[in-house]
Structures are given as structure tokens and as C-alpha cells.
Structure 1
Amino acid sequence: MSIPDTNQANNHNTLYDGQQDPQFQSPYVDMDEWREEPVRHRYMHGGFTGTETRFSFYFPLEENYRGRFFQPVYPVQGSENAAQSHVDGIDNKIGFAITRGSYLVETNMGGASSDVTLVYRASAAVALYSRVKATELFGPHRPYGYIYGGSGGGFKTMSFIENTTGIWDGAVPFVIGTPMAIPNVFTARVHAMRILKNKFPGIIDAIEPGGGGDMYADLNEEERQALEEVTRLGFPPKAWFAHEEIGDGALTVLTPAVMKMDSAYFDEFWTVPGYLGADPDSSASKARLQFKTVVSEVVRPRKQGKTESSSASNMGVDEAWKMLTEAEESIPSFKVESVPGGDAYLDGAFIRVISGEAAGLKIPLGRLDGNVVTIGSAFGFFASLQALEAVKAGDEIMLDNSDYIAIQTYHRHQVPSSDYAVWDQFRDENGEPLYPQRPFLVGPAVAFGGAGSLQSGRFQGKMIVVQTLLDESAFPWQADWYRSKAQEHLGGKLDESFRLWYVDHALHADTSSNGALDELHIVTYVPALHQALLDLSDWVERGIAPPASTNYEVVDGQVVVPYSAADRKGIQPVIALTANGSERAEALVHEKVHFKAVVEVPPNTGRIVVAEWDFEGKADFPVKADIRHLNEEGSQAVIEGTYAFSMPGTYFVVLRAASNRSGSDLFTQVPNLCRVRVVVK
């Protein structure tokens, strides 16, 4: 892989227009039919002769058509039918587009290719051909076009609109990273998780409502340093409530890619002064596992067929990377003579074959079940079935976590240019790196390879960025980095073409389906994303400026927003909730507790339309709240309630409320929540 110059801007003198691209001159349609689900629409499927590019179009009824299309951009090249797997509720991309009089465009972005420009060239070719079909169906016109994508799809969305002309009129990138995101957002997170694994209950309790407020209170020096490091890099502390669910994210997928690009690092980490592993007294050295054992039996084969996660359904911003790890072969497992102790750190470990015909083979460890070692997978590093068949009983193997521990501080050795202020903690007073630096920056290479260019902020058309304040995988400040690049390009005209909206109490995943734990802490940002698409189309087509960008500051890597909706701006309602007048209340069993919330919507962004209580922590929100609006617009309201608890304990009472500009439209019903603590004795 060639390593791009991180200081080199895209060449905007040669923007791609797609009209004469010889690779995409022979489109075809191989399916054209009416479908009734999730809503009546005309479905077309096809591709381009001589290429792997495929597409799907979903057209509305002619009488409902409003002359535009929406085109989702997924994190990885995959299925042109991904939307068909998400047809329920507000996650329904087809239903959203059709009910808005728009058609939906999907493409596999050309499939796998060594040509990094193919992702946007194929996507542009599909968009252009969709206009041909729309003209055939609805008469002469030029449909407006809007792309949107999150996470890796956000990288692509920015790259697509920066490198093309005349294709798309606007874009909504969401939960976006920067060219320095990979693998650094994951390495810092996992480093902290390894060191803090026994301290999360205290950390979480301290920052919950009514807690002590000091998440560092019970930490030793190393633990404090790890938490400070990841916090200053941008990880939002309130997201630690989900530390078990978020795990290491895509790091096991990314580690082999880093190994290929910078293989020397994984030896130097343990041997060269300045790297954590070279210190024999460090926690890294103490957590290192190199456990030798002998294979007593090879259990084969265990069929691992394609699962739903390897299908088109796995294209969301938090799931797409998992598709890359699905093995499609029958794989064995190994019974071994001995296993490491129960407190061994096995996360991310590899199985190294030391002796026998397969000596030298390196296999990702799946898990350890008693004395059975199962095999995992990692993109680009899954051993073939033929290679695994060479492992025999009697072979010596080593369970080795050295590489996984090494990568956990990789971000310290990837100090970029000064516009990445969160890395200042790794610079001395002269701006020089405190730690040894690697020969090149991996992040820009990954970003370039996935999107066809490095994001520059130089785009045509209009853009609304949607970012979340609890994003554990695309740290919130990264959207501000892109805003600064757009500011460099647009100067004083930034507000004419760009908005940035932050959504509070939302993680990285673009789905409304959360577990019970999540429902008590987070809301979905999908309705805000939908509203951004509608506001973007009004901005382009009718000249109606969208609501102002969120007002915020970036302080030591953390995005800080005002408490009131009027000051915060954006489009999400803000809730201030109290229990007996405070964020913490104490009560006796069967004693009534009074709850009061003031809910406010940013100016001209909608009306408070629904509110619901969860008192017992069951995440079922069984009590619909009475909303007392304070103004005619319905943008301010007071909500009150009382509740008596029948059992002693600590309860977190949650009020969830939502605003809307279109009555009861669930697609654009933007939610938020607030929590208070009640201690019942």
C-alpha cells in the first residue's frame, strides 16, 4: 500500500464528473418490479457490463415524486441491497425515502479493488445512471442528489463530495473520524480498558447524576494516567457505562493491517527504550502472555457457514467491520494439554504454532473453553483451511498476546501535525514528540485506502454533519476538525454551505435497536439524521437555511455544550430533570418522590410531542408523561410526576422526550433523555 502525504491536499483542478468514464458506459437493468414492502415502490437492480459494480434503485409512485434521491454510503464495499435488511421502524431507509417523495440509490461501490478511486467513481456512475432511469419514469428533469454515510461511510461521503462535480448536491456525513482516527481511537480506548478493568464501577458511579463527580478519586497513578490520556484524546467519559458492550470495537480487525504496514513496531515495542513494553516493570510487561502448551487433539471440522452478520444486513456503522471477520470455511478447534490461569489477559491473543508441519503459523485466538482453544478471525489474517489442516496432535503452540498489548499504545508513536491538538499531551514544550515515532502515520493510509482520498474540507454543494457527544469510536472533536478544514476553504462563507449538529446521549451505532441498558442511557440519533437530510434538501432546492450549528467548545479533547437549548442550538431538545429539586434524592420505601423536568427545543426546530418515564430501571418506559407547554410554539414545556418505590435500593429515574417539526412523524422525532438518582432506604 502506498502511503499518502498527509500534507497534500486533493487536486481540485481535476474533479471527477463521471460523464465520460470509459469503465461505466454500459449500464444494464436485470430486475424491474413493483414491491409492496416496506411501502409500495418500484425496484430496479442492475450493474455495469465488464465491472463488479452493482446497484439498486427504489422509486416512489409518480404522484408522490419530488425530484430527488438519497444515497446511503456504507463503511465498506459490500451489498447494493443493504437497505432491504432494515425495514422496521425509523431505521427503514427505503420507507423514509419513499414517504418523502424521494428515490433511494444503493451501490456496492464497485466491490473489492486495488483502485482506491473506484469507490467514488462507481458510486458516481450509479448516481448518474439513476438520473437516466428517473427521467424515463418521470419525464425530463435533473433529480437533486444527496449522499449520507457514517463512520467509514462518513469518510467516503466526505471524499465523494470533495472529489466530484455535478454528481451530488449535498451531503450528510455522520459520526465521522479524521485521517488520524485509525487505529488510534481504538488503541487508546483498549489501553484504558485493560488498565481500568476493575475500576469502571467507581468511575461510572462518580459521573452518574448524584455521584461524587471525580472519576479519578480512587485511581492509582497508572490508572489515572490511562484515564486522563484517553479522555484528552477525546473519548467521552459518560460512554464508559457501556464499556462491556463496546469492547475493543474494530481493533482486532485493524491490528493485522497495522502489522502489515509497520511490522517492526511489534518487536521494537518490547525491546527499544521509550516504548512501554521495553520497561520490564510496566503493566504491559506484566500483562504479557506467552503461554506454551501442546495440542492433544484437533477437533475437525466445525462448520461455520455464512450467518446473517455476513449478509447485507451488516452494513451499519457499528456492524460493517464485523462482516470482514466472518470465515466461510469449516474450521477446527484444538484441545490442549494445559491452559493459562484464569486471570490471564487473553484479549486479542494469537495462537503461534511452534513445532510440527505448521510451525510459524499465526492464528487469531477466538476463545478458551476449558481446555479447548477455538480459532478466531481477523481481516487479512485468517489462516486458510489448508494451513490449519497442517496442525496435528503433539504440536507445540504458544498463546501470545504480545501484539495486542503492543498496539494499545500505538497512538503515542503517531504524533501528527499541530492541527490535531489532542496529541499535544504527547509533545514537549518545544512541540517535539515525547515518545519514539514510527516512520509514517498509519491513519491517513487507512483513510486514503478506504475513501480514495484524504478529507480536506474542500467540497462543492452543501453539507450538514451529524455527530454524537457520547461517540466511543469516532470521538466528538473529530467533527470540529473537519469543520475547521471547511472553514479554511470557505472562510466567512462557512454558514452558507455548512452546518454541524451535535446529538447528546448517543453512541456510535446508527440504529434505534438498543439493549435495555442502553435505553436508560442513550437515544438514537437516526431521527436527527433524517431531519438533516430533509433540511439539506430544503437548503439546496428552496434556499431555506437550516437551523444553526450547535454551539460548543473543545476543551482538552472534550466537546462541551451549553446547558440550555437556546444557547446550545442544533436541533435536539434539552432536558433538565430533578428529583425533589436535585439530581439526587433520598427517600423511604413507599415515600413519594417528586420529579420535575424543564424541556426546551432550540429555536425554530420543532415542538415537544412526546415524553415518557422509566422509574424502575427496566427500560420499558411504561408511563406516558403529561406535557405542559409553556408557549404557543410548543418549544418549551414542564413535565412533572411522582413515584413511590416499594423496595430499597438505588434507582436511576429516566425521562425521555422528543421534538418534531412534523407532528407524529417517527422518522424525524428527535429524542433526548435525562437521568436522576434516587436512593431508597
Structure 2
Amino acid sequence: MQFTKRTVNLQGSHVPKLALVAVMFCTLWMSNMSVSAAPTQTECAPLDKGSAVWVTAECVDPLYNRPIIDSQSDETVPVPHHKVTGHFEGTDKKFNFYFPPKKQWQGRLFNLVYPLQDENATDVTISFGADSGAYTVQTNGGGGYRVDAAAVKFSKTVAAKYYGTSKRIYGYIYGGSGGSYQTIGAIENTSGVWDGAVPYIPGAPTAIPNNFFARAFARFVLEDKAPLIADAVSPGGSGNPYAVLNKTEQAVLLEVTKLGVPLRAWEDYSYVLGLNDADGLLGFGSTVRMIDSTYADDFWSKPGYLGTEQSALVDLFRAAKIDFSTKIGQVNRNAQNEPTSFVLENLPTQQSKFKLDYTVYNADGTKVGLLTGSLNASTKLLTLGSGNTSSALKAIETGAKLQIDNLWNLALTSYHRHQVPKQAGFSGWDQFRAADGNPLYPQRPMEIGPLIGGSVTGGESFTGKIQTKVIVVANLLDTDAYPWHADWYSAKVKQYLGERYDDNFRLWYNDNADHIENGPRTARLVQFDGIVQQALRDVSAWVEKGVVPAKSTLYNLTDNQLKVSKNASSRQGIQPVVDLTVNGGSRIDIEAGQTVTFVAKIQVPTKAGKVVRTEWDFLGTGKFKTSSFGNPNQTVGVSVKYTYTKPGTYFPSIRATSQREGDTKTPFANIQNLGRVRVVVHEPSKF
């Protein structure tokens, strides 16, 4: 799960600076609401030595025990609400509470979490909470589950005063990507703080950095064949991408597919391979270098690593290897005599698919360290970037040695082979085990994934020991947090809960959705915020009224590839299912000027809602046009004709939206899916 891939509001905070004097400007009843640990209250502490801090409704967190209210105001945008802004004294953690009017509030709160967010909730978050009878709690993240637990507990005190109630306030936490880590950390390490949770697009402890390094591995070997793979897995394609690959390429595609990269996701190979990613999907490389500093040297020198074995795959690595020494020529400096750029005497003749490292040496040949910068190959000018150490900058002189190489970045692409999890249940890594269960390749001293994951969750997590009712939402085309991650966690929960599993847990999958929020990136994807919103409403009804939610999505899992039924009643979950044909099939070849007939059948699972909207995109550009189909219904059939006048290959689609109450006007809890086919239009004279 790549945190930087999620769209988040990271703009500067509008909250007043941390100053106790701000409390003086609050109303009288708010002015004394600075809370600290009372002598008789228990301090939150781990249940066992070395485990995460266990937080209850009664204990006081020693880190976040002095919440201070900085300001309060009545707002009208995006909806009427009372905003309370504050911080935890002695920390950099801030919080905002957004209280809807008393007549609208139904006794609950929603708490969105994400490691990189600030404390300012988006308009959608605030509006959805209010529309759902909830007030919203948001912190500036980065503190695992503990800061949110402290904020939620304090918010209940403030809410009770604001609404004038002594009734129980129900709390629900939700978060996606890195926020799913925080949510899982919260529901496994607290009791009585939250009553329900919706972790969505969840990662597993193995996700970071392995998911991204494995895709970089695929990029290195398969980039040139990616368009052919995409064609095979697209609607109306052959369905067999391996047929267009040689044996080495087939092995690499199979390797990353078994690890969990959804095969159908290759239709958008640019994203799968990170072709527009500045780091080439190796953004966590600096973390690995810091923790496992000898890996690259071992990769290129020791048996068992791709850098030393004899194979066609290794030949690709050796051919791409750059390890070039040159000297620094003219050095350009600023007014403070600091180097800003310099010219190199020579450059390597070959190009690298991955970023190059620049290592500067003193004139006597002693290594100083890495430099950051951008190289202009045509002028041989290296312009220095930010973050360079003073010692490295000092070493930049005419005649000093500079090493240019891609040794680390090439080596990182197969790092996943040396991270076989010791914990059972990760079947994707079985391909790297011998018949006796031992790893085929040398293993590094530690598993990096759990270290990174634990830093995000706030401590020990992924045990499956949930303390609330949970609905997990995952997406079948997610290449950042693979679809099997949610299945893996579901199994952990089932192992813990046993017969109580169905009474406390659901897993709903979205088809035709990936990892990116706030709107689909391409015409082949749908938004998935609606199913997350409905999951929050359903988990609250489950907790507060005993309303049992829809059953988990049924699916088959083979080699970490998930497949779901084309029938809504068989698939279950709550997403509508769309079956689209063109002239009765999934593909048609026609002449320009011919008319085709599209037929779509849309089904909504039982008790999951009604179809409220259908939209057509005949050219596959993402420009959908709403089409009338009649009154909202659980099953809808539509048929339309369209004439193609220009030659080309098109992927027309119909987007269907369902809504639980059949509300055609609400912006919330709208659940989408697509049906897509292929239309190939030829020139009349060539067909």
C-alpha cells in the first residue's frame, strides 16, 4: 500500500497555532475543557510485554492526556455544523470535531484516519457524516491508533456537553490504504473506544515494500511487451497474455501474478508498471538501504541472488547494469560559494530504466556519500537537488571522482524473493519455497514489511483479534494493496472468532475499481467511495439496531487471483453486477458506418438496493451520458443502438449505479459497476 498514491488534502492548516491563550476566547462552558489524567484513572499500557498499548474507554493515554480546545465556531459550509478545533498539549497532534445540528444528530461519530492527512476534514467527509446522523472526528494522523483514540474519547465528552445528552455515543473508525493499517491497529488494540470499523483497500504486513518492488521487477522485464499483455486481458481479448511472451517473460509474469498483481489490471499497464512514477516504484528503496545496507553488495556478489546466477533473466540484469566512474569538471557555485551544479567529463553510453545513484569521492579516493540531483545527458550537467550532506557538498571539486550506477535500484527489483514470510498463510511466496518448505533463495536478516506496517498501525497488529464489528471493503483491480490481502485478513479474523465470525465480520469486494480515491483515473474504473459510505451506515445499523448486513462477497481464490460470479445472487456483497454484450458477444469487428446493438442486464444483490442510474460511454473515453431506463429496480435491462463512423478500436461501456433506498438524487452511498466490450471499426475498403 503506497501511502503517496492516495489523494489527500495536505494543504496548510487553518487551525490557530498552539497557544493556551486561545482557550480564553471560547465560550464559558468550553473554557475549562482541558482534560488531564485524574489520579484515580488508569494509564493505558500494553497487556503484555512488548505488545502495543491497550487503550480502553476508561484509561488515559500518557502521550495524549491533555486535550486543549483552541477555538469553536458555527459554520454553514459545506453544511451547517459546529466546529471545534484543538490540540494535545505537549505534542504536534491536532484534532477537529464537526457537530451537525442537534435535530440531525443520531448519537454516533465517524472517524476517518490516514497517516498523511491533516486534521481538516474534506467537505465530503463532513457532509456525509452529517447526512448519516454522525459528527466527524479527524486528527492530523501519523500517530497510529492512539492519537485518534484519545481524540475520539475527548470528542464524546465535548459532544455530550454540546448536545446536552448522557446517552451512549457510538463510534466508527474507517480508513483506506495506510488508513486501513491504522484502522486495523485500532480495532485490535482498543476496547470501548470504537464500536465498528470499515478498513478499506487494506494492505497486508507483506505489502510494503514488496508489492511495489515486484511491480518494478515486472516493469524491468515486461515493459516492452506490456501493450500485448494489455490487449490480451482487455474485453474481447484472447484472455491468454502468456501466449505473446517468451519463456523468461512468462516466468516473470507468472511470478508477479502469483504474488497478487491482478492479471486484469494489466489493461492499465502504465499504472501497474509505474511508468509515470518518478521513482519507478522503488520509493521505499531508501528505507531498505537504511535497514539492510549490505543487500546490493550481496545481490551482485553472492550465490542465490539474481546478480550472480546464470540464466536468461540474469543476462537482462547484466546488460542493464551501469557502474561507471568519471571525474567532476567545472563546478558552478552560488554567492555563498556552495556548489549548485557541475559538469562531468564523461557519461555512461547506455540508458537506465531506473534512477541512477551519484556517489562522490574525495580526491584521494575515499568515499564520501550519495548526491541527489538531476543529470542533463546532452550537456553533461548535474544540477544538485535538496538534502545533500555538507560533507558531500564539500567534496565537490574539480577532479573529484563521481561514481554513476544503478546497482541498488536493479537489485531492489527482486528483493521480494529474499523476504519470504516466516508467518504461515502467505501462499504467494510458496513459489519461493522448496518441497521441504525452506526458502529457495537467501533470506535477509529481517522482514521489512512488518516493520513498516507496525510503524503505521501503531504497534502489533494483523492478529485478527478484532474488538468491534467490521466490514472490510476491497477492490479487485487494486495493484497497490492486492485483492488477496483482504482475504488473508478475513482468514485471520475467522481463526480468532470461530463461530462468532459471521456475527461480526463482512468482506465486500468491488469489481472494476483500484486503489485510487476521489474519482476513477480511467474509463475502465469506477469510484468506490459509495460502497465505503454504505458500509459505514450498515456497520452502524448492525451495532446499534442489530440489522444484519449483506453477506460477504463470494469468490474463488487461485494463485492469489480472485474471481467472482457474473450473477448477483451468487456473488453477494452489495455491488451491482453488469453484463454487457454487443451484437450478442464481447467483441465485434465492423465497417465504419455500421450500427451495433448493445444489450445490458444489471442486477443488484438481494436487499442491497436498486439501480438508480445508467450511463453510456460508446467511445470508451470516460465521457458518460445518462440514459433513462425507467423506475429504480433491483434488476434492469437496457438495449441501445449506436453507429460507429470512424475506424478504430473502442471499448464502449455502461456504468450502472445502485443505491440502498433507491434515491436518485442523493450524492451518498451510490455504488457503481461497469460492463465493457470491444468494438473494432475498419475502413470499409479494408474489411
Q: Please show how residues 224-623 of structure 1 align to structure 2 within 5 Å.
A: 224-245=250-271, 247-248=273-274, 251-279=281-309, 282=314, 283-297=316-330, 332-341=340-349, 344-356=351-363, 359-364=367-372, 368=376, 370=378, 371-374=380-383, 382-384=387-389, 387-388=392-393, 390-416=395-421, 417-451=423-457, 452-512=459-519, 514-515=520-521, 518=522, 520-621=523-624, 623=625
Query: Computing the radius of gyration over CA atoms, which structure comes out larger, 1 or 2?
Result: 2
The DSSP-based 3-state class of the residue aligned with 2:411 is: helix
Single out whichever of 23-32 and 58-67 deviates more from structure 2: 23-32
Single out whichever of 239-248 and 479-488 deviates more from structure 2: 239-248
Between the aligned partners of 1:179 and 1:331, the Cα distance in structure 2 is 42
Single out whichever of 258-267 and 393-402 deviates more from structure 2: 393-402
Single out whichever of 331-340 and 492-501 deviates more from structure 2: 331-340
Amino acid at match of 1:624: T
Q: CA deviation at 1:393?
A: 4.7
Between the aligned partners of 1:547 and 1:67, the Cα distance in structure 2 is 23
The DSSP-based 3-state class of the residue aligned with 2:461 is: coil
2:157 to 108, 129, 132: 132
The DSSP-based 3-state class of the residue aligned with 1:33 is: strand
CA 1:64–1:396: 2 relative to 1, 3 Å: same
Aligned-residue sequence identity (percent) comes to 39
**RMSD, aligned CA:** 2.5
Q: Please show how residues 147-296 of structure 1 align to structure 2 within 5 Å.
A: 147-245=173-271, 247-248=273-274, 251-279=281-309, 282=314, 283-296=316-329
The DSSP-based 3-state class of the residue aligned with 2:197 is: strand
CA 1:659–1:385: 2 relative to 1, 3 Å: farther
Between the aligned partners of 1:331 and 1:177, the Cα distance in structure 2 is 43
Does the aligned pair in 2 maintain the 1:290–1:402 contact within 8 Å? yes
**TM-score (normalised: structure 1):** 0.86
Q: CA deviation at 1:18?
A: 5.7
Aligned to 2:10: none
Q: CA deviation at 1:361?
A: 1.7
Does the aligned pair in 2 maintain the 1:587–1:678 contact within 8 Å? yes
Residues 518-553 of structure 1, C-alpha deviations (whole Å, 9 max, x = no match): 1x1111111111111111111111111111100012
The DSSP-based 3-state class of the residue aligned with 2:255 is: helix
Amino acid at match of 2:299: F
CA 1:104–1:246: 2 relative to 1, 3 Å: farther
Q: What runs of 5+ residues in structure 2 fail to find an aligned partner?
A: 1-47, 683-687
Does the aligned pair in 1 maintain the 2:360–2:392 contact within 8 Å? no
Structure with bigger RCO (C-alpha 8 Å, 6+ apart): 1
The DSSP-based 3-state class of the residue aligned with 2:126 is: helix
CA 1:578–1:473: 2 relative to 1, 3 Å: same
CA 1:495–1:300: 2 relative to 1, 3 Å: farther
Displaced runs of 4 or more, over 6 A: none
Q: Please show how residues 56-135 of structure 1 align to structure 2 within 5 Å.
A: 56-76=96-116, 79-81=118-120, 83-84=121-122, 87=123, 92-109=124-141, 119-135=144-160
CA 1:160–1:368: 2 relative to 1, 3 Å: farther
Between the aligned partners of 1:298 and 1:60, the Cα distance in structure 2 is 61
Residues 308-330 of structure 1, C-alpha deviations (whole Å, 9 max, x = no match): xxxxxxxxxxxxxxxxxxxxxx9
**TM-score (normalised: structure 2):** 0.85
Q: CA deviation at 1:640?
A: 1.2
Between the aligned partners of 1:575 and 1:202, the Cα distance in structure 2 is 26
Q: CA deviation at 1:508?
A: 0.7
Q: CA deviation at 1:651?
A: 1.1
Q: CA deviation at 1:590?
A: 1.0
Aligned to 2:81: 41
The DSSP-based 3-state class of the residue aligned with 1:277 is: coil
Does the aligned pair in 2 maintain the 1:162–1:456 contact within 8 Å? yes
Aligned to 1:31: 71
Between the aligned partners of 1:641 and 1:509, the Cα distance in structure 2 is 31
Q: CA deviation at 1:335?
A: 4.3
Single out whichever of 394-403 and 603-612 deviates more from structure 2: 394-403
Does the aligned pair in 1 maintain the 2:213–2:282 contact within 8 Å? no
Does the aligned pair in 2 maintain the 1:10–1:163 contact within 8 Å? no
Single out whichever of 344-353 and 176-185 deviates more from structure 2: 344-353
Aligned to 1:3: none
CA 1:152–1:301: 2 relative to 1, 3 Å: farther
Residues 560-615 of structure 1, C-alpha deviations (whole Å, 9 max, x = no match): 11111111111111111111110011111111011111111111111111111111
CA 1:337–1:527: 2 relative to 1, 3 Å: farther
Amino acid at match of 1:612: E
Between the aligned partners of 1:280 and 1:394, the Cα distance in structure 2 is 38
Q: CA deviation at 1:368?
A: 4.6
Residues 155-198 of structure 1, C-alpha deviations (whole Å, 9 max, x = no match): 11101111011111111111111112121111111101110010
Between the aligned partners of 1:300 and 1:511, the Cα distance in structure 2 is 44
Does the aligned pair in 1 maintain the 2:469–2:543 contact within 8 Å? yes
CA 1:13–1:20: 2 relative to 1, 3 Å: closer
CA 1:142–1:263: 2 relative to 1, 3 Å: same
Residues 291-311 of structure 1, C-alpha deviations (whole Å, 9 max, x = no match): 334444556679xxxxxxxxx
Residues 327-385 of structure 1, C-alpha deviations (whole Å, 9 max, x = no match): xxx994554344444x61242332211345995221355565643445567xxxx4347
Q: CA deviation at 1:554?
A: 1.1
Between the aligned partners of 1:374 and 1:587, the Cα distance in structure 2 is 54
Aligned to 1:626: 628
The DSSP-based 3-state class of the residue aligned with 1:667 is: coil
The DSSP-based 3-state class of the residue aligned with 2:208 is: coil
